[in-house]
Amino acid sequence: MRHYRQLTQEERYQISALRGLGRSQGAIARTLGRSPGTISRELKRNGDGGAYEARTAQKRTDQRRRSAHKWHKRIPALTDWVEDRLRDGWSPEQIAGSAREAGHPVVSHEWIYRHVARDQAAGGSLVNHLRHRRRRYRKRYGSVDRRGRIVNRVGIEKRPTVVDERRRFGDWEGDTVLGSGAAALVTLVERKSGTVAIRKIERRTAEETRKAIIDALGHWRPAVTSITVDNGKEFAAHEQVSAKLACPVYFARPYHSWERGSNENTNGLIREYFPKGADFAQVSEERIQGIEDRLNLRPRKRLGYRAPNEVLEQSLPRQRAA
């Protein structure tokens, strides 16, 4: 696909000189390697009743660029629509992707973040509706992993490539969500359907984590073909999990959270209900189950607007663990 390039100042001087020699627009276009339409538009926009002077043309172009501040993004109706979507809990990426279908000019998610920043600087509250606050990136590579070694750890590089393709059901990702106290949540997400299982543990130990995983995935056992987890020491009992659920357990590389992208995204959704600082010891099992149900019953566009649980249950029959 060819992309349009603005005429340069040098090209404008060439146009002026060739016009002075009586060359046609087509001839000028061939000389510059431009389309005839580009030359025609330039003469109409920056010419004076047939005359064309390069210095004047460049000056007019520079003035237009300085004054053109993305005019369509200042339309009040568009701004109101964007702000309403933010207050509804939409992410800037979702808003940008939906603008065209809603009949609005195309906007980028970067512009929406800048709009939120301007609103915050003016004392506005739009920033409070962002699902994910932008944080400064801190390099992780080259740092020392102080979480200790996990015995007989199997790295993600040994995981079958079919897992990456999301073509089959039964590949799960696991992690823990921390609170202000010792209690935490163990979260597991099935990669193809997005089905999530959440269990509370009173302490983030390998034994409690092992029990939580087996309890969460036991009734999905026919639909558990692999599990990929974080490198936290709470997953040190992976061999017992593998033996009980009859599936391999793989470990993502340290600080490579995108290798468990489904789980990371789902943890972000869970954080909407339990912001950082929440004490999970004070959260009831019924509350956690309610959030799990809400996420699993939420229609997903990529699933044809079916819910994750519906997709997984229809694809692979559940079987209670013995």
Burial class (CB in 10 A: 0-12, 13-18, 19+), 244: middle
pLDDT of amino acid 2: 44
Residues 6+ apart with CB under 8 A from 187: 174, 175, 176, 177, 196, 197, 198, 263, 266, 267, 270
Nearest Cα to Cα of residue 85 among 120, 135, 133, 126: 126
Q: Are 283 and 274 in contact (CB under 8 A)?
A: yes
Q: Where are the domains of the chain?
A: 9-67, 71-126, 156-315
pLDDT of amino acid 34: 87
What's the whole-model pTM score? 0.55
What is the C-alpha to C-alpha distance for residues 133 and 112, in angstroms, rounded to an integer? Answer: 13
Residues 6+ apart with CB under 8 A from 266: 187, 189, 194, 196, 295
pLDDT of amino acid 204: 92
What residue spans of 2-159 are helical by DSSP H? 9-20, 25-32, 36-46, 54-67, 76-87, 92-98, 109-121
- Angle of the 9-20 helix axis to the 36-46 helix axis, nearest 10: 90
CA distances from 149 to 106, 153, 158, 251, 296 (A): 49, 8, 18, 12, 34
CATH architecture of structural domain 156-315 = 2-Layer Sandwich (3.30)
What is the C-alpha to C-alpha distance for residues 263 and 106, in angstroms, rounded to an integer? Answer: 30
For the chain, residues with pLDDT lower than 70 are 1-5, 64-74, 100-103, 131-148, 316-322
pLDDT of amino acid 291: 92
223-234 burial code (b ≥16 CB/10 A, e <16): bbbbbbbbbbeb
pLDDT of amino acid 5: 66
For the chain, list the strands marked E by DSSP. Answer: 171-178, 184-190, 196-201, 226-229, 249-251
pLDDT of amino acid 1: 38
pLDDT of amino acid 305: 80
The region, left, alpha or beta by phi > 0 then psi within -120 to 50, assigned to residue 250 is beta
